[in-house]
Structure 1
Amino acid sequence: MDARASHQEAPPDPPAPDTPLVDTSRNDRVGEFRGVAGARWSLRPIGGGIEWEVDPRHVRPALPMEQLRARTARANARSRGEVL
């Protein structure tokens, strides 16, 4: 057996809290990094909401346009009374 075949890639280092990230496993959902939960990372929607966990391999930094889109969607939902 090749030793390289059994070696798994190490997870990336966690970013600073509140760093905007994109969860590519959930239709490019944008969230802020909240912390590490075992082997997974916790993200929270920009502007607040229920946190979710994601495998760090499915996360990338959010582009400025993605951050703006997420903040605008949250503000619109708030103006409609859908969220506090």
Structure 2
Amino acid sequence: MCSRTATGRPVAGRLAGVVTMTALTPDADGHNVSPDAGALVVDRRSGKVGVVMGHVGPYVQLRPPRGGREWDVPPEDVRTPTPTEELSAKVAVANQRWGR
């Protein structure tokens, strides 16, 4: 059964475009390639989830999914989020839209 809200739209459908997630892809040498802008990733050093905003020099710039101040992370300290971390970030963004 799919949960619906007063709008009649399935919850999963509303959250589908909140943030995107792309997996880190290894290059020919087996090293992870930096994720593209818009990817949802986790900073291994702090455990914080962030959206990739771009790349400056050797660093990946991340911003919290709900918005806020960007921070720089070396590409080797970035990993893909677990399904739980990804869902939590999407719910936080959705809650912000609804003023919760």
TM-score range, shorter chain: 0.5 to 0.7
Q: Which amino acid aligns with 1:30?
A: V
Aligned to 2:5: none
In the alignment, what sits opposite 2:61?
42
Structure 2: tracts of 5 or more residues without a match: 1-30
Question: What is the deviation of 1:67?
Answer: 1.4
TM-score relative to the length of structure 1: 0.67
Residue 72 of structure 1, CA deviation: 3.2
- Greater helix proportion: 1
State the shift of 1:19 in Å: 0.5
Q: Which residue of 2 aligns with 1:23?
A: 43
Percent of aligned positions with the same letter in both sequences? 34
- The SS at the match of 1:33 is strand
1:64 aligns with 2:89: no
What CA distance in whole angstroms lies between the structure 1 residues aligned with 2:68 and 2:90? 12
- Which TM-score applies when normalising by structure 2? 0.57
Matches of 2:82 and 2:40, distance apart in 1: 8
CA distance in 1: counterparts of 2:62 and 2:53, whole angstroms: 5
Question: What is the RMSD computed on CA atoms of the aligned residues?
Answer: 2.2
- Is the 2:66–2:92 contact (alpha carbons within 8 Å) kept by the matching residues of 1? no
Cα deviation 1:14-46 (Å, max 9, x = unaligned):
2121111000111x1000111111111100111
Matched letter for residue 79 of structure 2: R
